[in-house]
Every structure is written in structure tokens, then in C-alpha cells.
Amino acid sequence: MSRWRRCGAALFACWAIAASGAIAANDDSGAHYPSGAASFQANCAVCHGRDGAGQPSLAPPLTSYPARYIAAPEGRRQLALTVLYGMFGDVVVEQKHYNFKMPDFARLGDEALASVLNFVVFDLARASEDSTPLNAAEIAAARGQPLGADAVRQHRAALLAALGLAN
């Protein structure tokens, strides 16, 4: 019972953020990836917030780790796997726990997913412009090897260990 109540509270929090996002001024005008920005606000901001700051205990911030992921081949694959297959279970970002369910966005095309991830990496997490942006072929490659949401989380744990980030 309490689990359902928690879920209800989470959905309400998501709705409240979505409602406030709908009336907020559009501050993505200077984005390097404007179509990724529009897709992020439509599909992701409900949980991660318009600026990617996340929500305590529920959705992790996207403002730091993705900049580390983009510089490593397995990190690039991790970004693609997360949006293609979702992620489920406890994760840690900068010593804080998050445990909710990230839905999959496989219905969005390879180009659209590359562009929303590039918005996350370069506009929200401010990765160095020396890093190569993700492209549709990398998303397509990850789409060819389906994984479950829990396996995506395990892949993330191995990646964080390899990058020397705490998990």
C-alpha cells in the first residue's frame, strides 16, 4: 500500500514540474542542440527538470556524469542504452541515491535520440567541445543489441567503476 502511495506522490511531483515547465519562459534559445532541447523539454523534463537538475531520490541530475560518459566508448554506449531501454533500480550520482524507473524511449528515432542526448551532454552537462557528438549510427548499433532495464543499470555500474566514479 505504502508503495502505491509513494508512486502516487512521485507522479504528482512529476505533474507539478510538468505544469510549471509549461508556463516557464523558454530559456533554451542559446542551446547548441535546439531540436534536442525541444525533445528534452517534451519527453524528459517531467522527471529530470527543465535544466536537468533532477529530483531528490527520484530522478538523477544529468548535469555532470553525462559529460564524463561522452569521452569513453562504453560511456557513449551507456547513454544510448539508457534512452533505448530505460533503467531500473538504485543508482548513485555524486553520493546521492535515486531509485525510480526511467522509461524507454525506443519509439523515438536514432537521429532524435542522438540529438536529445547531445543536448544533455553538451548543453546541460557542458561537456568539452573537444568531445565528438553522438551520431545516429551509434544509437542504431545499440538498438541492434536489446537489453533489459536492469542490465542497463549493471552496465552503468561497470562503466562508473572503469571511470573511477563512485556508484
Applying CB under 6 A, which residues contact ligand HEC? 43-44, 46-48, 58-60, 62, 65-66, 79, 82-83, 87-89, 91, 93, 98-103, 105, 116, 120, 153, 156
At 91 the three-state DSSP class reads strand
Q: Of 31 and 59, which CB lies nearer to ligand HEC in the complex structure?
A: 59
Least spacing, CB of residue 14 vs ligand HEC, in Å: 6
Q: For residue 30, which phi and psi values (nearest 5 degrees)?
A: -95, 10
Query: 126 near 67, Cβ under 8 Å?
Result: yes
Q: Of 34 and 89, which CB lies nearer to ligand HEC in the complex structure?
A: 89
Least spacing, CB of residue 59 vs ligand HEC, in Å: 4
32 CB burial (10 A radius; 0-12, 13-18, 19+): middle
Bridge partner residues of 25 (DSSP)? none
Q: Which residue has the cell 551532454?
A: 121
Least spacing, CB of residue 66 vs ligand HEC, in Å: 5
